[in-house]
Structure formats: C-alpha cells, structure tokens
Amino acid sequence: MAEEAIEIAGDRGGRRAAAAEYRREVRELVDLLSNLNPSAEEFVPSSRSSHGGGGGGGGGRRTTRSGGALSAEAAPLFMAPHDYYAAQMINAWFHDAAAINDGGLNDWGLRDQYSRRSKSSYSERRRRSSVSSIQKAQREDSIKKTVYISEIDRQITEEQLAALFSNCGKVVDCRICGDANSALRFAFVEFASENGARAALNLGGTMLGYHPVRVLPSKTAILPVNPTFLPQSEDEREMCTRTVYCTNIDKKVTQNDLKSFFESNCGEVSRLRLLGDRVHSTRIAFVEFAEAEGALAALSCSGLFVGNLRVRVSPSKTPVRPRTPRSAMAD
C-alpha cells in the first residue's frame, strides 16, 4: 500500500510539473507578444472581449450583461492586439494544461487513430492513382496500334475489312461504325503492334467495294466489349448470323409492334429482346430470325419508320440468349 501511495504521489507530482512548465512557457510567450507593438490599437467586438471595458486607451464603454445577453448600451471596444490575442492564447494553453493535469493524454489515442486513417486514405489514393496511370498507359498504347478508316462502302463487312488489313499485321479488333443505311461509313482497326498500324497507313486509297478508303492514325482506342456477351460456342456464332441489332427505336413501339414490322418485311422472328430505360429517349433491340436470310433482309430495313422514328439496323455481335428462369436462379 505504501508503495502504491508513493507511485500515485509521484504521478501527481509529474502532472503538476508538466502544468507548471506549460504556464512558464505561456508567460514567456505573453512577454514576447507584449513587446511587439504596445501602442497599436485594433477594433474588437465587445461580444468577443474577455475584458470588461475599453483597453489600450480606446475609451469604449463597459459592457454589461443582463440574463446572459448583451445590454443595449454595449459598445464596440478598441484594444491593443497583444491584450486580446494574448488572452485568447492563455485560455487555450491553460485548457491544454488542464487536460494534461486531468489525464487527457488519452486523447493521443484518438490522434493515433486519426493518423492511421489518414495514412490509409493516402494509400488508397495512391493505389487508385496507380491504377488510373496504368489504364491511361494501356489506352495510349492501344491508340498507337489503331488506325481510323473512313469512306467505307456500306456493303463491306467487318470480316472483309479485317481481311484487307490482315496483310499489315495481326488484327486484334475491327469495328465498323455509322448508319448502315448511309452510303459511306467509318471504322477502327486495332493491330497487335504499332508496326501493323504504321503499315496500314500505306493502304490509304485502296479500292474496297466501290470506294477507295482513307486510312489515318486514330485519336481514340476501341472500347473493349465485355467478353461474356460474345458468342461462346459454334451454336451461338451461328445465332449471330441470324441476329440484327436495332437502335433509335421509338419508345411508344412495343415488342409486338417491332416483331410484326420485321416479320412482315423480312421473315419469321424466333426471338426478340427490346431494351431501354427512362434515361434515354430511344430504345434498342436484338432480333433473331429463324433463317439467316431474314437477318440479311432486315439490314435493308435500316432507315424505315417504325413508329415516329427511323430505325437503324446493323449486324449483331452478340446472340440473344434465352432468359434464365427464376426457379433455376433460385436453385
């Protein structure tokens, strides 16, 4: 018991010594500030003043409080800066000293927790920045390996375009864009290396169909397609030959309306998927025909009115997969 009492007394003595050291440093700071410019005066609202009346020769009236509120006679005060700011610093420093005296050093645990959180956030920002830099580098690398082809005959398919440029190097991806009903379209071809893209520039002016194509370095990369959407088997590749992709569909057009349109113009429709949301002004659809001839006929329907809009039709890269039954999903 005696040893515990001695230990407690020693702990209290240490805290008192720390508080005394704090007070000594505050006094030294106040003395330093008071020597800066003792004749200067500065306006301080009376509500912020820790003094009862004017200081530093300001001549302001003394503020009085009634029920904790400022009286109507309260007037602005003019105080020397060192009077006001020194008082504020003394209050703050003695508050810290009291915290030390009361064992407030436990707050350092919260500071440690905040420090760890800050380090974790910094690490997360660095990781995201690193991932973003890698993605940017990959995109720039893809752009260097990609060429832009314009003035493509609308009868030319992606397979024919890729075959033309395959002599320049291995073709990784080929995308024909634009309205299929337009006389001319454009495309992007990505190669496995920059050498293939440089060699492809020499094919500018080559006749492809009824028009010579123009080939230029690309300023953008080809947006990758989710591989799960692409055909996964020979059966699904065969399904793609019988499927068309439709855009610019009037929102008032129903699935039955669209099916009736294609069946009356192209042939039997075996599966149709109409998609859309409230955000976009139009809808899209995938239409699978019973025969490949129906899909070919559907391409010539691009530009025809379905409802109040002209539908755009192009070959589909993805099959229309049957929906998974809810019971199967539950199992």
**CA dihedral defined by 47, 48, 53, 57, rounded to 10 degrees?**
-130
- Residues 245, 315: contact at Cβ < 8 Å? yes
Dist. CA 274–CA 250, nearest whole Å? 11
**204 and 157 co-located in one domain:** yes
284 and 210, same domain (yes or no): no
Task: Pull the structure tokens for residue 105.
Answer: 């050093």
Q: What is the DSSP letter of 229?
A: G
What is the domain count for the chain? Answer: 2
Of 50-54, 150-154, 201-205, 239-243, minimum mean pLDDT range = 50-54
In sequence order, what are the residues at sequence separation of 6 or more whose Cβ sits closer than 8 angstroms to the Cβ of residue 225? 317
State how far the Cα of 133 lies from the Cα of 39, in Å rounded to an integer: 58
For position 12, what pLDDT does the model report? 67
Are residue 185 and residue 231 in the same domain, yes or no?
no
As a whole number of angstroms, the distance between CA 24 and CA 112 comes to: 28
pLDDT at 192 over 50: yes
Statement: residue 52 has pLDDT above 50: no
Q: What is the CATH number of the domain that holds 160?
A: 3.30.70.330
Asked if 273 and 308 sit in the same domain, the reply is yes
| Whether 187 and 231 share a structural domain | no
User: Is residue 272 included in any domain, yes or no?
Assistant: yes
Distance CA 62, CA 75 (A): 7
Is 231 found in the same domain as 294?
yes
CA distance 301 to 299: 5
Contact 217, 204 (CB under 8 A): no
Residues 251 and 306 in one domain: yes
Q: Are residues 241 and 294 part of one domain?
A: yes
Q: Are 202 and 230 contained in the same domain?
A: no
Average pLDDT, the chain: 75
pTM of the predicted model as reported, rounded to 2 decimal places: 0.42
Beta partners for residue 275, in sequence order: 284
Distances (CA, A) of 301 to 36, 96, 202: 88, 81, 35
Q: Which residue has the higher pLDDT, 42 or 240?
A: 240
Q: Is the predicted pLDDT of residue 230 greater than 60, yes or no?
A: yes
Q: CA–CA separation, 133 vs 127, rounded Å?
A: 10
For residue 97, is pLDDT > 60? no
Q: pLDDT per residue over 147-162, tens digit each?
A: 999 988 878 888 889 8
Closest CA to 238 of 297, 290, 286, 160: 290
Is residue 86 a part of any domain in this protein? no
Which residue among 177, 197, 215 closes a domain?
215
Distance (Å, whole) CA 69 – CA 177: 74
- The pLDDT score that the predictor gives to residue 175 is 84
Longest dimension (CA), the chain: 108
Tell me how far apart the alpha carbons of residues 60 and 285 are, in angstroms, rounded to a whole number.
81
**What pLDDT, on a 0 to 100 scale, did the predictor assign at position 112?**
60
Kindly report the backbone phi and psi dihedral angles of residue 146, in degrees, each rounded to the nearest multiple of 5, phi listed first. Answer: -120, 145
Compute the distance between CA of residue 228 and CA of residue 319 in angstroms, rounded to an integer: 11
> Is residue 190, in this structure, part of any structural domain at all?
yes
Do 307 and 230 fall within a single domain? yes
Q: Is 204 part of any domain? A: yes
Over residues 15-24, the pLDDT tens digits come to 777 778 878 8
Looking at 183, 215, 247, which one is the last position of a domain? 215
Distance CA 109, CA 90 (A): 25
Residue 237 lies in a domain: yes
In a domain, 147, yes or no: yes
The Cα 76–Cα 70 span in angstroms is 12
In a domain, 88, yes or no: no
- The C-alpha atoms of residue 256 and residue 211 are separated, in whole angstroms, by 39
Residue numbers of the domain that contains 175: 141-215
Whether 241 is covered by a domain: the verdict is yes
Please check whether residues 204 and 267 belong to one and the same domain: no
